[in-house]
Chain A
Amino acid sequence: MKLYCLSGHPTLPCNVLKFKSTTIMLDCGLDTTSALYYLPLPLVHSPRLSKLPGWVSKDGTVNLEKELKECAGRVFVDSQPEFCLPERELLDLSTVDVILISNYHCMMALPYITEHTGFSGTVYATEPTFQIGRLLMEELVTFMERVPKAQSATCWKTKEIQRRMLPGPLKDAVDVWSWRTCYSMQEVNSALSRVQLVGYWQKVELFGAVQVTPLSSGYSLGSSNWIIQSHFEKVSYVSGSSLLTTHPQPMDQSSLKNSDVLILTGLTQIPTANPDGMLGEFCSNLAMTIRAGGNVLVPCYSSGVIYDLLECLYQFMDSANLGTTPFYFISPVANSSLEFSQIFAEWLCQNKQSKVYLPEPPFPHAELIQTNRLKHYTSIHGEFSSEFRQPCVVFTGHPSLRFGDVVHFLELWGKSSLNTIIFTEPDFSYLDALAPYQPLAMKCVYCPIDTRLNFHQVAKLLKEVQPLHVVCPEQYTQPPPAQSHRSDLMLELQPPPVAYRRCSVLGLPFRRRHERIQLLPEVLMNYK
């Protein structure tokens, strides 16, 4: 049994498991942090961004003024943003039999894997994962295609230039040659046509050799961990899981028991922040800004934590006497995301589930929409521009601040210290995200809400389910670089976990000894 590790990002994994002659890909996350090296794509012409000076090396020998621009003391690439893909050279992707998806954030690289690679297998995902994943891909494509950029910059990637000449942080970017621009809607549709829907605890037989089963993981709508087993061996794949009571169905822990190998990915990215505390801070900062007459900008993904934020605000705003403040949710898929969230009752936690028996919509944002307190728009153009009132709260993407409608709001509100931007998504460093907008008068508040397992919870979980071996990204085997003294922010296990990094190939430490066969009853009758 072998594990090929195609991604080094611990929360956007992409691993391939070879087990009993089947080749199973576990997730295919797309690392979009690479977009931070690029200039923002403004929706409306920005004189500031269009007049940036080009970059020329100090000695004047290298002139890349067409590709690189200096902005707020940093150098950015002026081109369509590119994303860091899972490794595509380590193994022949056409040999992958199935892809198991654990949640909608971990499938964003799917079109890069299934299209133009000869892949001919099946992708398994739950219905919410599939539907919301489709929305997020659609949104990404729309963000890109709405503001086409003719230029695709490649000269800066030349090794001699990038490594030797460019200033940081651009010079430290890795694997830049494997970065790719966004896929097209046609590729998304083709990739998604390979998805086969599964339900939690549905046993799926692969070629009669292996059985795979998705389990509820508690992190997002339809998010799952996977059991991959034969009659005698069991591998558990734990990806983004949560033990907090937010909207999804609670995590199934007991089914992970007795694993020979447990592959552990997707722990919290902000182990020091407590999500409940962050939520409180989010509300109080929001109220303070609104009371002072300022606007609040919340850069976020179009599904996930936003549902919890809206629910929290639904109660909070009335108690804070701010009941009349409008919320705007702006995204090409805002309406769909809100509508879809209401129809997946079976995938929600108990108390939301029981609401549909009444019958009432499970999320209170239905009421916010009905009473006109929450309005959704596909973009800042059109109705929104004539209808919006200030002060207000705007939820919009993309959280990288490099594309999507959020770019416009930063240009619009950035100059006033009355306004506040509140970061809730943990995927991007907020300082890097804000870099091209500096200097900024707007207040910045960092309240990352990451509900995924922390090290304390995972230690308890592993003690409970007792896997023989644990495999995890190498980042989990040492404290975070910025907090090297915090030995509580790493996995300490006996035996120690097997660590992987991008491009690792691990031989997993167990041997198969038995196989199950079926005897016809006639054969047994002879021995009576």
Chain B
Amino acid sequence: MPDIKVTPLGAGQDVGRSCILVSIGGKNIMLDCGMHMGYNDDRRFPDFSYITQNGRLTDYLDCVIISHFHLDHCGALPYMSEMVGYDGPIYMTHPTKAICPILLEDFRKITVDKKGETNFFTSQMIKDCMKKVVPLNLHQTVQVDDELEIKAYYAGHVLGAAMVQIKVGSESVVYTGDYNMTPDRHLGAAWIDKCRPDILITESTYATTIRDSKRCRERDFLKKVHESIERGGKVLIPVFALGRAQELCILLETFWERMNLKAPIYFSTGLTEKANHYYKLFITWTNQKIRKTFVQRNMFEFKHIKAFDRSYADNPGPMVVFATPGMLHAGQSLQIFKKWAGNEKNMVIMPGYCVQGTVGHKILNGQKKLEMEGRATLEVKLQVEYMSFSAHADAKGIMQLIRMAEPHNILLVHGEAKKMAFLKDKIEQEFNISCYMPANGETTTVTTNPSVPVDISLNLLKREMALGGPLPDPKRPRTMHGTLIMKDNSLRLVSPEQALKELGLSEHQLRFTCRVHLQDPHSDTDTLSRIYSHLKSVLKGYAVQHLPDSTVMVESIVLKVSSSAEEPDLKVVLLSWCFQDEELGSFLSTLLKKGLPSAL
């Protein structure tokens, strides 16, 4: 039996450096190629030596697919393609293709220019890597080669995020990337058709969480920001430049407008305006409401939100600052955090998930003293708030997607092991299908049961259909007769006559004969007549004939009666039928073995 193999190189029982290898129908596909925010050493990137110890990956991979532009899904891409070596196609959606190189360049700058690391990918490598990208449109079927096809579905989560279906013959896998099942202020909800994949590889970031209503969370968020501003504090919101940032900007913008607030809102880095441009140009990827009204009012033109300058951080008075990156592991958000951490009037709101090892993760766990570079310690006095605004599906959402796609197996990635195990139990209980959660480097093998396409001649199909009456009854199985010819790697089902003709064979007849003994005290001819009337009454609708040469014919089945002189009452009924009438023939023999009814 054929099987599909799935091996996570990253994101197996973990969040970060998503990278999953899939082998299906002889094809190898890499899904995502991300970096890990929690590490600064080799563990930052997936371990590509798993694929091959020596040299380039081009010969081992048929294609690479990137689900969205977050660095934990694409951060290792230039390293993989330019430093390890891969020249095949890399698929991603248009918005991802537009935004991904900017984030990679940002990542490179922080690592090389600020931290001074060497042996890292260069700007040119990012450019060369992006040249290998083939843009993907939603719902378009892309033929990677003659056998392998992929198709993207809308995933919500961030601008341009996609789920992908990978298909070879009748076997298929769906990889969700990160997705969101509830529409928010700027994105729509993920959607997939009932494509019944053999395996659904789904993220499980919020495997155990069922989030309360979005409105409550938004109200909470606004209340906290408002209170802090009122008492003259500064609010830091670490975000990634694209994604939640726009969602929260829309939220604050409308709130400021409604409450007529005057405190400044800033957005760090020059990326803001550029980022908002992307949102305007890719408006077809946002939610329905924004798409409908964009001509009258573009939601991404903000009135209250201005560009941030480093010197503003020391300005007196309240302010709200969106700063990158989102997990406080480097860059401007960390700098501002250091400045503001000592004042209890200030506040930091973490709007998303933080990977282990990052400052964000530490302060969320209540750590009050942080060790910084150069042995300095930083006291955390400001208020730390966590508010889940990351656009991941919660447990309910994951179940909903499973119901939508109806997979035969589920494989969990992009989550913490403990939470995954909980969700795994729940899925297995509710859907009664197998659920896997391999660790990094561990291979899951799923046996598939693909059906085999066969070409049938239309004549045969129509003839066999007609046998069952005018209309086929889809609820009833029916036997159909035909000859299967396997030739030149193709399968054809044709009528036996045609098969004989094609193969130049002559037909052999296979006949069954059997003798049935009957106690019947009559003459041979009378017995035959009695049999004739018996069959006539039982087999209504069949052609039963009494022929002059002392035989009875039922369709093509011949019956004869004889007896020996010694035992004239013991009749031997001779039945003979050909293979095609096997069903009727064996029915007759059983019937006659029961004897003739005396009433005849």
Find residues 354-380 in chain A having any chain B CB closer than 8 Å to their own CB: 356-357, 359-362
Taking residues whose C-beta sits less than 8 angstroms from the other chain, chain B's interface range is 35 or more
Which residues of B sit under 8 angstroms from A345, Cβ to Cβ?
94, 281-282
- Check A359/B281 contact, CB under 8 A, given A335-B295, A515-B461, A520-B451: yes
Query: Do B138 and A199 have beta carbons less than 8 Å apart?
Result: yes
* A292 → chain B closest CB, angstroms: 37
| Distance between Cα atoms of A353 and B284 in the complex (Å) | 14
Which residues of A sit under 8 angstroms from B278, Cβ to Cβ?
356, 359
- Check A339/B282 contact, CB under 8 A, given A514-B458, A516-B453: no
Which residues of B sit under 8 angstroms from A127, Cβ to Cβ?
284
* A77 → chain B closest CB, angstroms: 36
Which residues of A sit under 8 angstroms from B280, Cβ to Cβ?
343
| Distance between Cα atoms of A346 and B93 in the complex (Å) | 9
| Distance between Cα atoms of A346 and B491 in the complex (Å) | 40
| Distance between Cα atoms of A198 and B1 in the complex (Å) | 36
| Distance between Cα atoms of A385 and B453 in the complex (Å) | 68
Query: Do A339 and B491 have beta carbons less than 8 Å apart?
Result: no
Binding-face segment, B12-20, B139-147, B530-538: B139-147
Q: Interface code A336-356, partner B: CB below 8 Å = 1, 0 otherwise?
A: 100110111110000001001
Which residues of A sit under 8 angstroms from B455, Cβ to Cβ?
231-232, 514-517
Query: Do B295 and A513 have beta carbons less than 8 Å apart?
Result: no
Query: Do A519 and B294 have beta carbons less than 8 Å apart?
Result: no
* B92 → chain A closest CB, angstroms: 12
Which residues of B sit under 8 angstroms from A199, Cβ to Cβ?
137-140
Query: Do A514 and B294 have beta carbons less than 8 Å apart?
Result: no
- Check A513/B454 contact, CB under 8 A, given A198-B139, A345-B281: no
Find residues 343-371 in chain B having any chain A CB closer than 8 Å to their own CB: none
For residue A177, CB closer than 8 A to chain B, the reply is: no
For residue A512, CB closer than 8 A to chain B, the reply is: yes
Query: Do A519 and B452 have beta carbons less than 8 Å apart?
Result: yes
| Distance between Cα atoms of A61 and B277 in the complex (Å) | 69
For residue A521, CB closer than 8 A to chain B, the reply is: yes
* B565 → chain A closest CB, angstroms: 49
For residue A207, CB closer than 8 A to chain B, the reply is: no
Query: Do B281 and A346 have beta carbons less than 8 Å apart?
Result: no
Q: Interface code A319-344, partner B: CB below 8 Å = 1, 0 otherwise?
A: 00000000000000001100110111
| Distance between Cα atoms of A83 and B294 in the complex (Å) | 33
For residue A518, CB closer than 8 A to chain B, the reply is: yes
Q: Interface code B272-304, partner A: CB below 8 Å = 1, 0 otherwise?
A: 001001101111100000000011000000000
* A358 → chain B closest CB, angstroms: 8
For residue B456, CB closer than 8 A to chain A, the reply is: yes
For residue B336, CB closer than 8 A to chain A, the reply is: no
- Check A343/B454 contact, CB under 8 A, given A201-B141, A359-B98, A359-B277: no
For residue B270, CB closer than 8 A to chain A, the reply is: no
Which residues of A sit under 8 angstroms from B135, Cβ to Cβ?
346, 353
Query: Do B139 and A521 have beta carbons less than 8 Å apart?
Result: no
| Distance between Cα atoms of A521 and B2 in the complex (Å) | 11
Which residues of A sit under 8 angstroms from B137, Cβ to Cβ?
199-201, 346
* B465 → chain A closest CB, angstroms: 11
Q: Interface code B242-261, partner A: CB below 8 Å = 1, 0 otherwise?
A: 00000000000000000000
* B584 → chain A closest CB, angstroms: 24
- Of A199, A202, A336, A517, the most chain B CB neighbours within 10 A belong to A517
Task: Tally A residues with Cβ within 8 Å of B.
Answer: 38
Query: Do B454 and A518 have beta carbons less than 8 Å apart?
Result: yes
* B74 → chain A closest CB, angstroms: 15
Complex: chain B residue closest to A512, CB-CB: B458
- Of A127, A200, A201, the most chain B CB neighbours within 10 A belong to A201
B interface: dominant SS: mixed
For residue B580, CB closer than 8 A to chain A, the reply is: no
| Distance between Cα atoms of A436 and B162 in the complex (Å) | 56
Which residues of A sit under 8 angstroms from B140, Cβ to Cβ?
199-202
* A512 → chain B closest CB, angstroms: 6
For residue B342, CB closer than 8 A to chain A, the reply is: no
Find residues 483-528 in chain A having any chain B CB closer than 8 Å to their own CB: 512-521, 524, 527
- Given B98, B282, B450, B493, which contacts A517 in the complex, CB threshold below 8 Å? B493
Query: Do B453 and A203 have beta carbons less than 8 Å apart?
Result: no
- Check A356/B449 contact, CB under 8 A, given A203-B141, A517-B493: no
| Distance between Cα atoms of A326 and B267 in the complex (Å) | 37
Complex: chain A residue closest to B276, CB-CB: A359
* A189 → chain B closest CB, angstroms: 13
- Check A516/B281 contact, CB under 8 A, given A202-B141, A336-B295, A357-B98: no
Which residues of B sit under 8 angstroms from A201, Cβ to Cβ?
137, 140-142
* A69 → chain B closest CB, angstroms: 39
Query: Do A340 and B452 have beta carbons less than 8 Å apart?
Result: no
| Distance between Cα atoms of A18 and B278 in the complex (Å) | 44
Query: Do A359 and B142 have beta carbons less than 8 Å apart?
Result: no
Query: Do B451 and A521 have beta carbons less than 8 Å apart?
Result: yes
Query: Do B139 and A361 have beta carbons less than 8 Å apart?
Result: no
| Distance between Cα atoms of A342 and B295 in the complex (Å) | 11
- Given A353, A359, A519, which contacts B454 in the complex, CB threshold below 8 Å? A519
Find residues 419-461 in chain B having any chain A CB closer than 8 Å to their own CB: 449-458, 461
* A322 → chain B closest CB, angstroms: 30
| Distance between Cα atoms of A345 and B97 in the complex (Å) | 12
For residue B484, CB closer than 8 A to chain A, the reply is: yes
Query: Do B456 and A515 have beta carbons less than 8 Å apart?
Result: yes
Complex: chain A residue closest to B142, CB-CB: A201
Query: Do A527 and B142 have beta carbons less than 8 Å apart?
Result: no
Which residues of A sit under 8 angstroms from B452, Cβ to Cβ?
518-521, 524
Find residues 457-476 in chain B having any chain A CB closer than 8 Å to their own CB: 457-458, 461
| Distance between Cα atoms of A356 and B102 in the complex (Å) | 13
Complex: chain A residue closest to B274, CB-CB: A359
Which residues of A sit under 8 angstroms from B450, Cβ to Cβ?
521
Find residues 40-60 in chain A having any chain B CB closer than 8 Å to their own CB: none
Query: Do A346 and B94 have beta carbons less than 8 Å apart?
Result: yes
Which residues of B sit under 8 angstroms from A357, Cβ to Cβ?
97-98
* A119 → chain B closest CB, angstroms: 24
| Distance between Cα atoms of A231 and B170 in the complex (Å) | 15
| Distance between Cα atoms of A353 and B95 in the complex (Å) | 11
| Distance between Cα atoms of A513 and B461 in the complex (Å) | 10
Query: Do A518 and B281 have beta carbons less than 8 Å apart?
Result: no
- Of A344, A345, A361, A513, the most chain B CB neighbours within 10 A belong to A345
Query: Do B281 and A342 have beta carbons less than 8 Å apart?
Result: yes
Complex: chain B residue closest to A518, CB-CB: B451
* A214 → chain B closest CB, angstroms: 10
Query: Do A343 and B94 have beta carbons less than 8 Å apart?
Result: no
* B118 → chain A closest CB, angstroms: 29
- Check A356/B451 contact, CB under 8 A, given A198-B139, A517-B493: no
Complex: chain A residue closest to B457, CB-CB: A514
| Distance between Cα atoms of A359 and B139 in the complex (Å) | 24
- Given A336, A359, A361, A517, which contacts B456 in the complex, CB threshold below 8 Å? A517
Which residues of B sit under 8 angstroms from A342, Cβ to Cβ?
281
| Distance between Cα atoms of A346 and B138 in the complex (Å) | 10
Complex: chain A residue closest to B486, CB-CB: A527
- Given A343, A359, A513, A514, which contacts B283 in the complex, CB threshold below 8 Å? A343
- Of B97, B278, B284, the most chain A CB neighbours within 10 A belong to B284
Query: Do B1 and A361 have beta carbons less than 8 Å apart?
Result: no
| Distance between Cα atoms of A202 and B150 in the complex (Å) | 11
Query: Do B457 and A513 have beta carbons less than 8 Å apart?
Result: yes
11 intermolecular pairs with C-beta atoms under 8 Å apart:
A127-B284, A199-B140, A201-B141, A344-B284, A346-B94, A353-B135, A356-B282, A359-B278, A513-B457, A514-B457, A518-B451
5 other A-B residue contacts (CB within 8 Å) besides A127-B284, A346-B135: A200-B140, A345-B282, A515-B458, A516-B455, A517-B493
Chain A interface (Cβ within 8 Å of chain B)? 127, 198-203, 213, 231-232, 335-336, 339-340, 342-346, 353, 356-357, 359-362, 512-521, 524, 527
**9 closest cross-chain pairs (CB), A and B:** A518-B451, A359-B277, A202-B139, A357-B98, A519-B452, A201-B140, A356-B281, A199-B139, A343-B283
